[in-house]
Amino acid sequence: MKPKVAFFDFTSCEGCQLQKLNCEDELVDILSAVEVVNFREATSVRRDDYDIAFVEGSISTPSCVERIKKIRENAKVLVALGACATTGGLNMLKNFQPLDKVREYVYGDKAGYFDTLPVRPVDQVVKVDYKVHGCPMDKQDYMNVLKALLTGQEPRLLKYPVCVECKMKENACRYDFGEICLGPITRAGCGARCPSVNHICFGCRGLLDDPKMDAANDVLAAHGLTAQDVLRKYRLFYGYSEVSQ
Amino acid sequence: MTTAKNLDINVHHVTRVEGHGNIVVNVKNGKLEKCELNIVEAPRFFEAFLRGRNWKESHLITSRICGICSPGHQLASLKATEDAMNIKVSEQTVLLRKVMVGGSFLQSHILHVYFLVSPDLIGAPSVIPLISSHPDVVKRALRLKKLSNDICDVVGGRAVHPISMVPGGFTKIPSAEDLKALRKRLADAVSDVLATVDLVASLAGKLPAFTRDTEYISLGGVDGEFPLYDGKICSSDCGLTSDKNYRKMTNERVVPHSTAKHTAVSRSSFAVGALARCNNNFDKLNATGKGAAKALGYKPKNCNPYFNNVCQVIEVGHVVQDMIELIDKLLANGLKDEPVPQIKPRAGTGVGACEVPRGILYHEYTYDENGTVVDANCVIPTGQNCANIDDDMKKFVPEMLGAGKSKDEITFALEMLVRAYDPCISCSVHLLDVQFV
């Protein structure tokens, strides 16, 4: 019997939903290997008897909390897709301002119409079995996890930094251009996509399990960068670690 | 059993649209008591958390408003930042950005027409059963989609949340070889475009024959060009005005049933998107676009909102020819390895307007002298269309009840109506309404 899979989205840009559809070469094969029983963005079929739930987005409202708990109850395996789901992503920036002020700034005196909570990654609310990092998630990374799950293997996360992939591509180091790059402490798996087009790494794939922070900070200091610059940059995608400490 | 007297429709989370919306219709004793699209997407507060961020990050942050429209959000954002800091970009940068626009329109329209709309017209719940019943159609859709993604990968470094577009230019210029390869694939894709036109022409008869005149707003006023990247604001009611007047041309307001704000200009609502663009700028379409329009039976001005899908196919034809011509121009000029200029930030306010697949998009930022965001405002196409969708439903529901349609038929027609606008709901809830002081 084909495994039944479902796709759900929470607070996010739905770019990771799009990345799944962007696997054009594999899409037909994937869809013939699984049965899609719930994918609001792509089909009117909606059932709750899924084996694997793929979840995109952060948890940011009371109704998100209820929905993700139900999904966890129904799913045998839950996979968080993309930075919003795995680390809270950019949505975490909201948490650094008072919630009332944030609501008022956007909705004015009508702020009371809409509920919001501090943003959380999915694993702060329910157990997450596997994660596919990145903003957006990398197609190949997603395919690797999907293939592993469908063939009964354990998906693996890379344990080395983006710098490794960047060096293998023989890119010039962004620090040599006086820029702040988070490649030294960010989990690899994207093929150093941003430095490969002469752009710094923003750390969208999250911190390594064992990042060499002191060494990274020494590098920053050696290039005359202030802690303020660095913190601001870290917070773009690393807000979750700051909050959880 | 539905009668013309009582009807209760509550579609919780409309499927095959981007984001979360509910349709609520309530008719009591023949009187329409409620008829609205509720936008229930979780609010995201982008404008609030942009404040305090650095000017080099504005486009990277606002890109995350929407994955599908990310190239367009980046362009509106870059234009706003460049306006605020008086940064001029080269002709090559403009040409490359226009190729990005073409690639992202192709991507979004193909996804919408083939994956989200065609199942309604063919009578399937999704594109998945079409893999076995209509394999050639699905393969063609995937070919066109892959081409559009490859275009944005080559030019922007990535299709979803591009990397290399920055204030002032590109961090990496594509090679002539890569552009030549794309040009060949675009030329080869013309037959797929024509087949798409034929497919939609064969299904267009199934679109509901509903019309409602409204105000159509898009970019306009560019000589000899169907304006997508730049131009003035063009209203079918009020004519042309500068993009600096975008607040007057949107008038956003918060309504309780929608985390996306509603808008109105000269009427209770207005429409943006492919139909508005074709209605306002039909003469500027190129030969492929006009040929598609003829085959699809579209003539301006058309007031059937379901024809937004038809106009998306017209634009697919237009952008494919347009990208071929843009690449020819880039190659004829000779690609230059232009480094991104060194920019010293300065205080100021800037506006950026561009067309994205779902309609006209505005970003506005105010920066302090260090280039830190002080205020931000983004007005999203789907937010602009919400009031228009409500008004369409308020006219269409009584018409269908009068014609004796069943609840199922009415529900289906309303879901199709919402889908026709190709609403990008996660986009639309990133709100603003900033009081600039």
Q: Which of A11, A39, A199 lies closest to B44 in CB terms? A: A11
Exposure string of B258-289, with b = 16+ CB inside 10 Å and e = fewer, is bbbbbbbbeeebbbbbbbbbbbbbbebbbebb
Q: Could you tell me the pLDDT band of residue B430, with boundaries at 50, 70 and 90?
A: very low
Spatial separation of the C-alpha atoms in residues B51 and B422, rounded to whole Å: 30
**Which residue in chain B is spatially nearest to A31 when comparing CA positions?**
B128
**Which residue in chain B is spatially nearest to A63 when comparing CA positions?**
B42
Contact B64 A135 (CB under 8 A): yes
What is Dmax (Cα atoms) for chain B? 70
Work out whether strand B232-235 and strand B239-241 pair parallel, antiparallel, or are unpaired: antiparallel
CB of B357 closer than 8 Å to CB of B104? yes
Contact B48 A101 (CB under 8 A): yes
**Least confident stretch, A49-53, A224-228, B72-76, B385-389:** A224-228
Provide the mean pLDDT of chain B: 89
The pLDDT value recorded for residue B1 is: 38
User: Which residues on B lie below 8 Å from A15 (Cβ)?
Assistant: 64, 66-68, 70, 160-161
pLDDT at A228 over 70: no
Contact A96 B131 (CB under 8 A): no
Share of chain B above pLDDT 70, in %: 92
Q: Could you tell me the pLDDT band of residue A236, with boundaries at 50, 70 and 90?
A: confident
User: Which residues on A lie below 8 Å from B143 (Cβ)?
Assistant: 24
Q: Which of A16, A17, A107 lies closest to B433 in CB terms? A: A107
DSSP tag of A90: G
At residue A220, the 3 state secondary structure works out as helix
**Which residue in chain B is spatially nearest to A61 when comparing CA positions?**
B42
Contact B43 A97 (CB under 8 A): no
β-bridge partners, A39: A7
**Least confident stretch, B172-186, B309-323, B373-387:** B373-387
Spatial separation of the C-alpha atoms in residues A84 and A58, rounded to whole Å: 5
State the smallest CA–CA distance between residue A201 and chain B in angstroms.
10
A91 part of contact set with chain B, CB < 8 Å: yes
pLDDT tens sequence across B274-306: 999 999 999 999 999 999 999 999 999 999 999
Whole-angstrom CA distances from B249 to B84, B303, B419 are: 20, 20, 24
Q: Which residues contact A15 (CB under 8 A, 6 or more apart)?
A: A82, A135, A136, B64, B66, B67, B68, B70, B160, B161
CB of A41 closer than 8 Å to CB of A8? no
CB of B422 closer than 8 Å to CB of A10? no
A25 part of contact set with chain B, CB < 8 Å: yes
The pLDDT value recorded for residue B282 is: 98
Q: Which residues contact A128 (CB under 8 A, 6 or more apart)?
A: A55, A78, A79, A80, A85, A86, A122
A102 part of contact set with chain B, CB < 8 Å: yes
The pLDDT value recorded for residue A32 is: 87
B321 part of contact set with chain A, CB < 8 Å: no
The pLDDT value recorded for residue B203 is: 87
Question: What is the interface size between A and B, counted as CB pairs within 8 Å?
Answer: 177
pLDDT tens sequence across A74-130: 999 999 999 999 999 998 888 877 777 777 776 676 666 666 778 899 999 999 999
pLDDT tens sequence across B69-120: 899 999 999 999 999 999 999 999 999 999 999 999 999 999 989 988 888 7
Task: Tell me which residues of chain B, numbers 257 to 286, contact chain A at a CB-CB cutoff of 8 Å.
Answer: 259
β-bridge partners, B258: B39, B255
Task: Tell me which residues of chain B, numbers 25 to 84, contact chain A at a CB-CB cutoff of 8 Å.
Answer: 40, 42-45, 47-49, 51, 53-54, 57, 60-61, 64-68, 70
CB of A205 closer than 8 Å to CB of A133? yes
What tokens appear for B279 in the block? Answer: 């209605």
User: Which residues on B lie below 8 Å from A17 (Cβ)?
Assistant: 18, 67
Q: Which residues contact B436 (CB under 8 A, 6 or more apart)?
A: B349, B366, B375, B377
**Chain B interface disruption, residue of A59, A94, A105, most B CBs within 10 A:** A105
Contact B128 A36 (CB under 8 A): yes
β-bridge partners, A11: A58
Contact A102 B115 (CB under 8 A): no
CB of B252 closer than 8 Å to CB of B260? no
User: Which residues on A lie below 8 Å from B68 (Cβ)?
Assistant: 14-15, 18
Q: Could you tell me the pLDDT band of residue B261, with boundaries at 50, 70 and 90?
A: confident
State the smallest CA–CA distance between residue A79 and chain B in angstroms.
20
Is the predicted ipTM greater than 0.90, yes or no? Answer: no
pLDDT at B435 over 80: no
Task: Tell me which residues of chain A, numbers 27 to 46, contact chain B at a CB-CB cutoff of 8 Å.
Answer: 27-28, 31-32, 36, 39-46
The strands making up B373-379's β-sheet, listed across from edge to edge, are B348-356, B359-367, B373-379
**Residue reference for tokens 């299904």:** B203
CB of A61 closer than 8 Å to CB of A116? yes
Question: What mean pLDDT comes out for the span A138-144?
Answer: 93
pLDDT at B429 over 60: no
At residue A204, the 3 state secondary structure works out as coil
Q: Which of B66, B131, B431 lies closest to A14 in CB terms? A: B66
State the smallest CA–CA distance between residue A67 and chain B in angstroms.
12
Express the helix, strand and coil content of chain A in percent, nearest 5 each.
Answer: 50, 15, 35
pLDDT at B163 over 50: yes
Spatial separation of the C-alpha atoms in residues A21 and A15, rounded to whole Å: 10
Q: Which of B53, B142, B254 lies closest to A27 in CB terms? A: B142
**Least confident stretch, A173-182, B116-125, B310-319:** B116-125
The pLDDT value recorded for residue B248 is: 87
Residue B369 dihedral angles phi and psi, to the nearest 5°: -65, -15
User: Which residues on B lie below 8 Å from A43 (Cβ)?
Assistant: 15-16, 119, 125-128
Q: Which of B51, B126, B434 lies closest to A42 in CB terms? A: B126
Task: Tell me which residues of chain B, numbers 85 to 114, contact chain A at a CB-CB cutoff of 8 Å.
Answer: 111
pLDDT tens sequence across A18-30: 899 899 899 888 8
CB of A233 closer than 8 Å to CB of A85? no
pLDDT at B3 over 60: no
State the smallest CA–CA distance between residue A69 and chain B in angstroms.
17
Contact A40 B13 (CB under 8 A): yes
A228 part of contact set with chain B, CB < 8 Å: no
